[in-house]
Structure formats: structure tokens, C-alpha cells
Amino acid sequence: MSDAVWYHLNLCARGDVDDTVADAAIAVRDGRIAWLGAFAALPHEFASLPRHDLGGAWVTPGLVDCHTHLVYGGQRADEFAQRLAGASYEDIARAGGGIVSTVRATRAASEEDLLRQSAPRLEALLAEGVTAVEIKSGYGLDLDGERKMLRVARRLGERYPVAVHTTFLGAHALPPEFFGRSDDYISEVCDRMLPTLADEGLIDAVDVFCENIGFSLAQSERVFEAASRRGLPLKMHAEQLSNGGGARLAARWGALSADHLEWLDEEGVMAMRAAGTVAVLLPGAYYFIRETRVPPLDLLRRHGVPVALSTDSNPGTSPTTSLLLMLNMACTLFRMTVGEALAGVTRHAAQALGESRRHGCLEIGRDADFAVWGIDTLAELAYWSGRPLCRRVVRHGETVFLR
Ligand code: DI6
Ligand code: FE
């Protein structure tokens, strides 16, 4: 079927800009990488396979977008206009807009409708070389609504050649019917929604929005407890709008990642380092809400915390479907290096999903999932904005996107 040798390519197999092979080749058998290295060293056993000439293009692992909310109904362009007129993201949330307005639109949509609205967002990611994506729930905020979102996420993974990881984010916002009763809502999340949806096989990980407009440390901990009882990996939206100590809590519970982190302090960084918790930075949200406080990259570097980058694709704070634009923003706005940015959408992003052995790196025995780029140097991935750089996406050895 897809058995072939891909050659005449520059290889960046680990998403490491200092570890590349010029004039390389990748041999694929049964959808997996059978061999890779310098073309001149191609073992004889692969000599008879069909060959695909990539014309000197660069090849990286398929990119990983490890934090998205891309399944939702409607959009919030009006709210954007309100913010331009002076309202803050928090003002709008407190006035019943924000996340809750997307909850209304998502609840009102049928499953088919939600699938139709969400699919183009995934298609856009795929066309930029993304072969693995995380999709969160969190706009249903009741059992049926959350189930609908997670089912749509699963169906997207069946319909498109992208590995979809689902994250249950029932604790994203307080639904209006629980107004003034946030502890009761957390009970609903922990005692009913999470166990039911986990039993239905819809949950790969559990996340919570720990923030003063979200849920408290104590409430977040209850969610972690319920998820851990089920053996589900943990993630947290932490220190996005204030320094609430969420990252420390996430680390204490051995979370895969803590995400956003503009307000993260050194204690939080050290706790994350000790726990192996990945820092997921989301420059699209930083940019779109016109945040001015940048995440503490120097501290993250100094303590050796792996940093991932993601789109946070969502209608309120990051209405983007371009992971490459996030590389550009991470470099220009956060002063990350090109090498850090590329690691952030390959091996570190895979680690943030708990999937380091499956995604984010090309090596013998792994799925042949890679992106082919029409660039002369890897720095171009972060340099251009708005330019279609991805020429081809290969998943399990088959071309699934071609430009
Ligand atoms: N933080 C975010 O940036 C998104 N969710 C979250 O917890 C925003 C989601 C939205 O505004 O719709
Ligand atoms: Fe988010």
C-alpha cells in the first residue's frame, strides 16, 4: 500500500533545529517508519520500494496542537467589537457574555450542526501540517452538551486524518442555571458528568479553568480528585489572568500540563519542573485579549521546564486556526527562539498530551506522520505569517493533504 521511500528532503526528525540531516530519506512500511537517515546510507532492503522525490523540501514530524477548544457553535465577533470599545474580557464574562454566550450557541446546535461548524477549523490545522490535536469540551456545561461536544471531537478524529485527543473541561465556566452555586456545579461535574462521559469512552484527559472568573483552587482540586480516581490524566488553565497558584496545584497532582501561565511565579515554575508538568503557552490568547504580561520564559528556561505552544483555538480569546502563526507570535511577542518554538509544536506538545511515544518525533517504528514544507530554512516556519508553507501532509505513510 503505502510502502515507499521518501527522498531528496531535509530532515528535522525530532523537531530539534540543531539535529537535522541534509539529503535524507524516510523508508515507510505498513504505515510506519522502517528507516530514516542520510539517503546515501539507505539500506539495501529498501532499494526496491517505490520512491517519492520531495524536491529538497524540509520534513518535520506532523505538528501537534495540544490545546484547542475548536468544537463550538457560533462566533463572538460582536464581543470583539465591545472589547475594542473598552470593555475587558472579564467585564464581558461577568455581564453574562463571554464563554456563556458560546454555551448558548453550542447547546442550541445539533450534533451534526456542531460537526459542520467545527470541521473547517480542523481542516485549516491539517493544511498547516497538524497530525495530532487536542480538543476540549467546556461549552456544553451540562451532561448532554458536554457529551455532544466530545462526540463531535471523536467523529472529527474518525472523519479526518488527524489523531484527536479529547479533554473534558466541564469546569470551564459556571452555567447560568447554577448561578451562585458553583460548589453544586462542581459536584455535578465530579459526581455525574465526568464518570458518565468517562464510561462512554469520551474522555482522554480532564482540564479545569482555575481563575477568579473560573473555579477556585479548592474546586479545581475536587475535579482533579474525581479525574484521578478514574485514572485520567490532568491539565489546567492556570495563571492566565491572575496569579492564583493553579500551576502549583497542577504540579502537586502530577498534571501533564499547566496552560497560559502569563502570571506564573518562580515557585510555580519550580513545582512544575519537579513534577514534569509541561508549560503550554498560548500566544494567540495573549495577543487577542491584548495582555501585556508575558509568561516568564527566563524562569521556565532556567529551571528546564519543557515549553509547548498551541493555538487555544476558541471563539473568545483566540479565534485562530493557524499553529504557524503561533510560532511567529511566540518568537515576536514572547521572544522565544525558533528552536524553542519548533520544539513547542512537536515533542513538547506531544508530552503535554502524554503522547511522547506516539507523536512529535520521527523514529523507526513510529507512525509515518510527517509534514513537508516548501521552505529553504527551518526558521521560515516562524518567520512568515499568513503564507501557505505546508506542501504535503503524510499520515500513516499516505498523503492526506497536498498543495
Ligand atoms: N481560557 C481561555 O482563554 C479560553 N478558555 C479559558 O479557560 C476562553 C474561552 C472563551 O472565551 O470562549
Ligand atoms: Fe484554553
Burial class (CB in 10 A: 0-12, 13-18, 19+), 250: buried
Q: What is the pLDDT of residue 25?
A: 98
pTM of the model: 0.97
Residue 66 has pLDDT above 70, yes or no: yes
Point out the ligand 1 atom lying closest to the alpha carbon of residue 237. Answer: 7
Q: Which of 37, 130, 153 is nearest to 381 (CA)?
A: 130
Q: What is the largest CA-CA distance in the chain?
A: 70
Q: Which of 160, 180, 159, 182 is nearest to 172 (CA)?
A: 182
Q: Which of 12, 46, 8, 13 is nearest to 25 (CA)?
A: 8
Ligand 1 touching residue 314 (CB < 6 A)? yes
Burial class (CB in 10 A: 0-12, 13-18, 19+), 347: buried
CA of 314 to the centre of ligand 1 (A): 7
Question: What b/e string do you get for 45-80 counting C-beta neighbours within 10 Å, with b at 16 or more?
Answer: ebeebeebebeebbbbbbbbbbbbbbbbbeebeebe
pLDDT above 90 covers a percentage of the chain that reads 96
- Measure the CA–CA gap between 234 and 228, rounded to whole angstroms: 8
Banded pLDDT at 161 (limits 50, 70, 90) = very high
Distances (CA, A) of 246 to 81, 199, 209, 222, 262: 31, 28, 9, 13, 12
Mean per-residue pLDDT, 378-390: 97
Residue 354 neighbours by CB under 8 Å, 6+ apart: 205, 233, 256
Side by side, the strands of the sheet bearing 163-171 are 63-65, 130-136, 163-171, 205-209, 234-238, 257-260, 278-281, 307-309
Quick one: DSSP state of residue 295? P
Q: Which of 197, 195, 196, 173 is nearest to 185 (CA)?
A: 173
CA of 92 to the centre of ligand 2 (A): 17
Q: What is the pLDDT of residues 23-42, one digit of tens each?
A: 999 999 999 999 999 999 99
CA of 284 to the centre of ligand 2 (A): 10
For residue 280, the ligand closest to its alpha carbon is: 2
For residue 285, the ligand closest to its alpha carbon is: 1
Banded pLDDT at 91 (limits 50, 70, 90) = confident
Banded pLDDT at 110 (limits 50, 70, 90) = very high
Banded pLDDT at 90 (limits 50, 70, 90) = confident
Mean per-residue pLDDT, 351-364: 98
Banded pLDDT at 1 (limits 50, 70, 90) = low
Rg, Å, the chain Cα set: 21
Q: What is the pLDDT of residues 284-323, one digit of tens each?
A: 999 999 999 999 999 999 999 999 999 999 999 999 999 9
Q: What is the pLDDT of residues 114-145, one digit of tens each?
A: 999 999 999 999 999 999 999 999 999 999 99
CA of 364 to the centre of ligand 1 (A): 38
Neighbour tally for 117: CB within 10 Å = 19
Q: What is the pLDDT of residue 96?
A: 78
Ligand 1 touching residue 102 (CB < 6 A)? yes
Q: How far apart are the first and last CA of the chain?
A: 22
Ligand 1 touching residue 209 (CB < 6 A)? yes
Ligand 1 touching residue 97 (CB < 6 A)? no
- Measure the CA–CA gap between 219 and 263, rounded to whole angstroms: 20
CA of 390 to the centre of ligand 2 (A): 25
Residue 58 belongs to what H/E stretch? strand 51-61
